[in-house]
Structure 1
Amino acid sequence: MKSRAIGVTGVEVTEMGLGTAQFGDLYDSFDQDEADAIVQSALSNGIRHFDTAPHYGLGLSECRLGQALVGVDRADIVVSTKVGRIIEGVGAAAYRRWDFTSDGVSRSLDSSRERLRMDDIDIAFIHDPDEHVDQAISEAAPALERKRASGEVGAIGVGTKDVATLLRFVRESDIDVVMVAGRLTLLDRTALDELIPECLARGVAVMSAGVFNSGILASPTPDRSSHFEYAEPSHEVVTRARKLASIAARHGFTLPEAAVAFARRPAPPVVSVVVGVDAAAQVPLNAALLTCDGDAEGLFAELDDLFASEG
């Protein structure tokens, strides 16, 4: 699997990364054996970037990922985590607290390193700062810049589904990368309007997460049993997804293949897609989505015509 560099940071990510929100019991309970199997499958299929956050399961995702990576050569992998939510308390009494201060950034990274069993973090994202964007730009971003300068982190960025927030960071801070969640997809193309051109102009890398919009685009035949934006999809969304599936099929793609191809299309600045799985058997299926033999030019042409007709 190919790797791509994030700006001039020296950090390289594989063109597909593994999201580990599921390791924090996102929809169903996980156990360590399942997490271990998924990570080993990812490594066997060439995936070397693993993304987590304290928010996922109140630190549980980081703990399980760290355990799953024990014994793996640290130089062979890239691990990203996030700051902005401090985990207070332990066990059943644990809870999340927003904190975008400089001290909060340091405390968050210290806790993440402990849970991950790692001395350093390759990429640190400011996580969902939408309601705290002024403080995150004035305090959290400079704190991460200092961590980058000291070598505690390799690259810094911001991750959220709010495009306006991402644009502010690209324009007002010295970040290396943005992770845009669910806004560079076949169902939501918001990131294409301003964010992608701005990142390209300023040399900021883009990772596309949530490319299946929480699941609706992950099935060749979408239905109401899947998720859209972490909830049950409406009839209109299912109908739309099925129309997109028909377009994809005309050009030799399944809907998931088309979703991944669309999210990777603006490269640069897009360097990777980050996807999660529920089971180890799904990992090679996701990796295979990078190498579809369909007519990409024809697919994109028909999609462009469709989107243009809709305004």
Structure 2
Amino acid sequence: MRTRRLGRTEVEVTELSFGGGPLGGLFAALDDDTAAGALAAAWDGGVRSFDTSPHYGIGQSERRTGAFLRGKERTAFTLSTKVGRLLVPQEAGGRTDERFVVPATHRRIWDFSRDGVLRSVEDSLARLGLDRVDVLYLHDAEEHFEEALRTGYPALAELRAQGVVGAIGAGMYDPGKLARLVRETDADVVMLSGRYTLLDHSALDELLPACAARGVSVLAASVFNSGLLATDRPTKDARYDYGPATTDLLARTHRIADVCAAHGVTVPQAALAFPLLHPAVAGVVVGMRSADEVRRDLAAYATEIPAGLWPDLRSAGLLDERTADLGS
């Protein structure tokens, strides 16, 4: 498993990171044994970077990730979590959390203030059962961007200056706002969700050039766009960015699959490899919910992609022409 350094920091990540969203019961309930099995399979396959968040299953992902990693040598892995949502206890009353299938024992409160950031970190460490994390991200700050930039980011910078964390940045869907963060701060890394994939190249407009110019690393998350790119051929009920995939997107994915098949590779294999062609991209973050799923993703990551795939996808109008000088 290849490793990359984040920005100018000493923090290193494996090119394939374990995304902790599914550990929080994303879309479907997940039991403790299956979650532990997924983490163990990732570790056995060489993954040493783990990403989680208070948002994922209102703390469940952090608890499960920490329970596994507490049994490992602390210097052997890189752990990231996020700030911006505080978890406040409430009476579940039989209700289930939105999107994450867990009892709604807490509610989320947006808070990018300095006090909110510090409290969030303290709460996360308690759930993880660890004394530190390596990377902190402002999380999903699109609708709270000015507050996150004005008060949230300086709080992260303060923690980095104190040596509490090794690298800081933001994880968002909006590449334009992330580009502004990169230009206006000294962030080390950004985690971009779903906007530099085989189906969406919008990060090429501003974000990736800004990161390349300023030495900021990019971790590409949601490289399967919530499922549409996760199988050899998508079904009609496939998800795209957490919602139903449109007819046009399904057709486009089938066209991508046709070109991939002509080169003897699958859509998931190409989807994992594509972001890594860009020099600013340090790794991909993939949410995985079972040992079998982990092993499939590890095998896909390890697949050698024929160099001719990318020009053929461009010739078919399926890849942005701006990718022509990548991977050559």
TM-score, structure 2 as length reference? 0.91
How far has the Cα of 1:177 moved from its partner?
A: 0.2
Aligned residues of 1:86 and 1:97 also touching (Cα < 8 A): yes
Q: Kindly report which structure 2 residues correspond to 1:204-219, keeping only aligned pairs within 5 A, or say none.
A: 204-219=216-231
Deviations 1:240-277 (A, max 9, x none): 110011111122220001111112110x2101000012
d(CA) in 2 for partners of 1:115, 1:284:
27
d(CA) in 1 for partners of 2:221, 2:305:
23
The equivalent of 2:282 in structure 1 is: 271
1:16 matched to 2:27? The reply is no
Name stretches of at least 5 consecutive residues in structure 2 with no aligned partner.
93-104, 322-328
191-200 or 285-294: which moved more?
285-294
d(CA) in 2 for partners of 1:165, 1:173:
12
d(CA) in 2 for partners of 1:167, 1:262:
20
The equivalent of 1:6 in structure 2 is: 6
The equivalent of 1:37 in structure 2 is: 37
Change over 3 Å in CA distance of 1:91–1:303 after alignment to 2:
farther
Deviations 1:150-170 (A, max 9, x none): 111110010011111101110
What SS does structure 2 have at the residue aligned with 1:142? Answer: helix
Q: Whose helix fraction is larger, Structure 1's or Structure 2's?
A: 1
The equivalent of 1:54 in structure 2 is: 54
Report the RMSD for the aligned CA atoms in angstroms: 1.5
d(CA) in 2 for partners of 1:308, 1:113:
41
How far has the Cα of 1:90 moved from its partner?
A: 4.8
Equivalent residue pairs, number: 308
The equivalent of 1:250 in structure 2 is: 262
AA in 1 matched with 2:310: F
245-254 or 209-218: which moved more?
245-254
1:119 matched to 2:131? The reply is yes
Aligned residues of 1:38 and 1:283 also touching (Cα < 8 A): yes
Equivalent position to 1:226, from 238, 241, 244: 238
How far has the Cα of 1:283 moved from its partner?
A: 1.1
What SS does structure 1 have at the residue aligned with 2:149? Answer: helix
d(CA) in 2 for partners of 1:14, 1:189:
23
1:76 matched to 2:76? The reply is yes
Equivalent position to 1:178, from 190, 199, 206: 190
1:161 matched to 2:173? The reply is yes
The equivalent of 1:286 in structure 2 is: 297
AA in 2 matched with 1:84: G
What SS does structure 2 have at the residue aligned with 1:18? Answer: strand
Aligned residues of 1:252 and 1:293 also touching (Cα < 8 A): no
d(CA) in 1 for partners of 2:176, 2:248:
26
d(CA) in 2 for partners of 1:252, 1:270:
25
AA in 2 matched with 1:59: G
133-142 or 83-92: which moved more?
83-92
Aligned residues of 2:176 and 2:206 also touching (Cα < 8 A): no
Aligned residues of 1:156 and 1:177 also touching (Cα < 8 A): yes
How far has the Cα of 1:284 moved from its partner?
A: 1.9
Q: Kindly report which structure 2 residues correspond to 1:187-198, keeping only aligned pairs within 5 A, or say none.
A: 187-198=199-210
AA in 2 matched with 1:286: D
How far has the Cα of 1:133 moved from its partner?
A: 1.0
1:63 matched to 2:63? The reply is yes
The equivalent of 2:308 in structure 1 is: 298
Moved over 6 A (4+): none
Change over 3 Å in CA distance of 1:124–1:91 after alignment to 2:
farther
Aligned residues of 1:35 and 1:68 also touching (Cα < 8 A): no
TM-score, structure 1 as length reference? 0.96
The equivalent of 1:135 in structure 2 is: 147
How far has the Cα of 1:192 moved from its partner?
A: 1.5
d(CA) in 2 for partners of 1:215, 1:308:
21
How far has the Cα of 1:237 moved from its partner?
A: 1.4
How far has the Cα of 1:182 moved from its partner?
A: 0.3
AA in 1 matched with 2:197: T
What SS does structure 1 have at the residue aligned with 2:291? Answer: coil
